[in-house]
Amino acid sequence: MYTSEELIKIDEQYGAHNYHPLPIVIAKGEGVWVWDVEGNKYMDMLSAYSALNQGHRHPRIVKVAHEQLDRLTLTSRAFYNDKLPLFLKKVAEITGMEMVLPMNTGAEAVETALKAARKWGYYVKGVEKDKAEIIVAENNFHGRTITIISFSTEPQYRDGFGPFTPGFKVVPYGDARTIEEAITPNTVAVLIEPIQGEGGIIIPPDGYLKRVREITAREKVLFILDEIQTGLGRTGRMFAWEWEGAKPDGIILGKALSGGILPVSAFASSKEVLGVFNPGDHGSTFGGNPLGAAVTIEALNVLIEENLPAKANELGNYFMEQLKKLKNPDIVEVRGRGLLIGVELKKPAREYAEKLKEEGLLCKETHEYVIRFAPPLVITREEIDWAMERIRKVMG
């Protein structure tokens, strides 16, 4: 059996250095808890960037995964399988959309949305060929493909990866007026996050999403929300847009869609938008695989039947109340919605994340100066109290 130190050395030797993990090697997980190779126990306050809303190895989801593994795992989309139709129906119903296109990773679902918006612009709205424009927000994070980083405003994400994909306009986040001013006859979509997660848990002003919804509807521009991190109960509603009743034309999902079992993502929209795709236009060998479909159906059932969005709202409010009582002069602000919480600091947050790890609590810095606390939604009040004891010890 390898030690944590030995495994980290192997990782550093053979793996590309595109991540900077905390020095812990996790070997087991259950609920909100994980254990390292040596058997030390930690509370997971990151949830794999909100992919584990249902907790580690939720027994209902694991049971369905085992059952499906014994039956069928992959067919490709060359054939129908008996789970995909039920997955499509479930996701359509939960999002309130008419059609769904399944993929694997969140970035793939974002790319799917971009392609759908452009083709809709040309074939439905009538934009001149190759002139389509999509409006996005500063400080966004939608993934790391070449096209997605083409409209990122984070220099590191772009450094060394040009030339970039054209066709995007970047405006300040949280200011609907700038979106209105940026729209031209060539604008086919506005793509934003309801809350900027990777950007530092940035919450826009009240009424922002609703106003963008009104503007895009009036101008015949698609309103697309990336709810990969904010969706599926994380913010205290099934989807973050529900806080303002700003239902989009399309919604991008991933992360917790499969309950943390395997990569599953989707773009859900109307028949008018997703109807632009013809056989061969777009696809994925693993997208819509029966294993992922079966797991997703149960993962969504767990969210609904265990009332996890409401639980996230209640416990998120409680957690933020406790965090706001901290007296540390390094703390600039505590902000969040549901169980997506950020603590902004005056100094690099990595130092605090490392100290919290030593106390048995795992979290991670984002945008250098923000600690993100985003535990699985199955966490209890008692477990939050346990976490706060460690947070007070480290952060005062």
Q: At what angle are helices 290-305 and 84-95 packed, to 10 degrees?
A: 40
Q: What is the dihedral of CA 197, 203, 208, 212, to 10 degrees?
A: -10
Classify burial at 163, counting beta carbons within 10 Å of its beta carbon; exposed 0-12, middle 13-18, buried 19 or more: exposed
Residue 161 is a catalytic residue: no
Count of H helices and E strands in the chain? 14, 15
Residue 319 is a catalytic residue: no
- Number of neighbouring beta carbons within 10 Å of residue 7: 15
Q: Choose, from 223, 226, 311, 319, the residue flagged as catalytic.
A: 226
Residue 141 is a catalytic residue: yes
Label the pairing between strands 331-337 and 340-345: antiparallel
Calpha distance 249→331 (Å, rounded): 38
- Number of neighbouring beta carbons within 10 Å of residue 2: 12
Rg value, the chain, Cα:
21
Calpha distance 209→307 (Å, rounded): 25
Q: Choose, from 83, 255, 311, 357, the residue flagged as catalytic.
A: 255
Q: Choose, from 36, 87, 90, 141, the residue flagged as catalytic.
A: 141
Could you give the residue numbers annotated as active site? 141, 226, 255
